Amino acid sequence: MSQGHEDRERLIVVMPVYNERQAIAAVLAEWLDAIAALDDAEATLLLVDDGSTDGTADIARELAARRETLVVVRKDNSGHGPSCLYGYAEALRRGAQWVLQVDSDGQCDPRYLARFWQQRGRGPLHYGRRRERGDGRRRALIQAALRLLLYARSGVYVRDANVPYRLMSAETTRWVLARVPTDFLLSNVAVALLHQRHHGIYWHDIAFRPAQRAGKHPLRYFARHARRLLDDLRRLPT
């Protein structure tokens, strides 16, 4: 039996997007269906368009005109990390009690949503841990290298620091927004590090699907930005 409106907790799914014209309609449709299946949530999908130039926002707006649980906001291009932080803040402004961040390229499987949501009572932070990755060995190697780098630099063991599949209470979201600089290159990493260090994360094993389009060369990107990440980490509060 469905719960009354007053008994439902407010969940906002934050999905940053940039130039995903080919995949976005299917990704939005499956996530809208997933949030609609949550009986005890008042759920909205907040798509944060990071200045796409390929018509992604137009496709999303057409769908939003038919699906009231989809909200599309558009901003100037600033990169994935700042778009995540922007989305967190916008979700809180809209009254979210819980914020779930996922990516827009089809890798985040909505079949895990119900499990995350059902277990939110265990604690304020629930992150996915990518046990199976459909996006190749290189990205799995980067995941391991990042885990070691963070441990060496901070002494904090973060199982999957850059995973986009994360459910956060409003309180821990607001707390971390006050501590991560808006220009932090890999803000997902900073958020995970601070959450693990100060609050503790409940980890859920998930599988990651292949992306629906080719992205950056992962090893080249990581090598190019590793030094910047180390410099940025020095700016985080202990």
Q: What is the pLDDT of residue 6?
A: 62
pTM: 0.90
Any residues with CB less than 8 A from the CB of 95 and at least 6 apart, and which? 10
Q: What is the pLDDT of residue 173?
A: 99
Specify the 3-state DSSP secondary structure of 214: coil
Any residues with CB less than 8 A from the CB of 76 and at least 6 apart, and which? 51
Q: What is the pLDDT of residue 237?
A: 86
Helices (H) and strands (E) counted in the chain, each on its own, are: 8, 7
Q: What is the pLDDT of residue 142?
A: 79
Q: What is the pLDDT of residue 233?
A: 84
Query: What residue type is assigned to position 23 of the chain?
Result: A
The tens place of each residue's pLDDT in the chain, 238 residues long, gives: 455 556 799 999 999 999 999 999 999 999 999 999 999 999 999 999 999 999 999 999 999 999 999 999 999 999 999 999 999 999 999 999 999 999 999 999 999 999 999 999 999 999 999 986 555 567 678 778 889 989 999 999 999 999 999 999 999 999 999 999 988 888 999 999 999 999 999 999 999 898 766 455 455 666 666 777 778 888 888 7
CB-CB contact of 156 with 196 (8 Å): yes
Q: What is the pLDDT of residue 1?
A: 42
Tokens 């885990």 belong to 147
Any residues with CB less than 8 A from the CB of 144 and at least 6 apart, and which? none
Q: Domain-by-domain residue ranges, the chain? A: 5-136+160-178+199-215
Q: What is the pLDDT of residue 218?
A: 54
The domain 5-136+160-178+199-215 is classified under which CATH number: 3.90.550.10, 3.40.50.10420, 3.30.1330.10, 3.50.30.10?
A: 3.90.550.10
